[in-house]
A and B are shown apart, each in its own frame.
Chain A
Amino acid sequence: DAGVIQSPRHEVTEMGQEVTLRCKPISGHNSLFWYRQTMMRGLELLIYFNNNVPIDDSGMPEDRFSAKMPNASFSTLKIQPSEPRDSAVYFCASSFDGGNSYEQYFGPGTRLTVT
């Protein structure tokens, strides 16, 4: 298996622009998680989906952030408009409920820089 795939790997954008991050989970996994990692705040869960349905979005910072999972093999995290404080590494992870559902497989991350 190719593992969790994220794109782009790096994104540099100007404040106010829209940013869309993409994730393809591991085939057969039914839970998908979006995380943000910074030195100051560590690894924060933004939102997670189970069977394509958003279950918990309490970690989404504000209305500028939105996430979708239109099907089992694709999810997006959108920031509009972006701000410098959004600069971070964004990880997507997936897991399978039937096994150890707390064993999450992470993608390589998207390093976002907002100037």
Chain B
Amino acid sequence: GQSLEQPSEVTAVEGAIVQINCTYQTSGFYGLSWYQQHDGGAPTFLSYNALDGLEETGRFSSFLSRSDSYGYLLLQELQMKDSASYFCAGANNRKLIWGLGTSLAVNP
């Protein structure tokens, strides 16, 4: 089957760095996407890794290792506004298969 696993909750302090891991068990994934969702809001796109390696976009970076069926989202210089849920999603033939999300709480 197709499934993605990520931690349910992560807590960090402002200014810190946090890494949210995602492991997947599937075949046919073209890549890994990450989305952010604030409480009461809609998911918004953060990144997509089609190739192995690290992709950096500002304070956020995403990594993929196909051989390990593993990826992570790295958030640097954490801000209070980064408190949200973060979803990894496997890309498969135009559609996404979603993990259950990681709730990140950033404390002062």
Contact = CB atoms under 8 A, between A and B. Distances in A.
Contact of A104 (B45, B99, B100): B45
Interface residues of B, number: 20
B74 interface: no
A102 B31 contact: yes
B95 A48 contact: yes
B59 interface: no
A25 interface: no
B10 to A, nearest CB: 17
Main secondary structure on B side of the interface with A: strand
A42 interface: yes
Contacts, number: 49
Contact of A45 (B41, B45, B96, B99): B96
B48 interface: yes
Interface centre among B31, B42, B44, B45 (most CB of A within 10 A): B42
Interface residues of A, number: 24
A18 interface: no
A93 B96 CA distance: 11
B100 A42 contact: yes
Contacts of B97: 45
Contact of A105 (B33, B45, B89): B45
A91 B96 contact: no
Given A42-B101, A103-B33, 8 more contacts: A45-B97, A48-B94, A55-B94, A95-B94, A102-B89, A104-B45, A106-B44, A109-B42
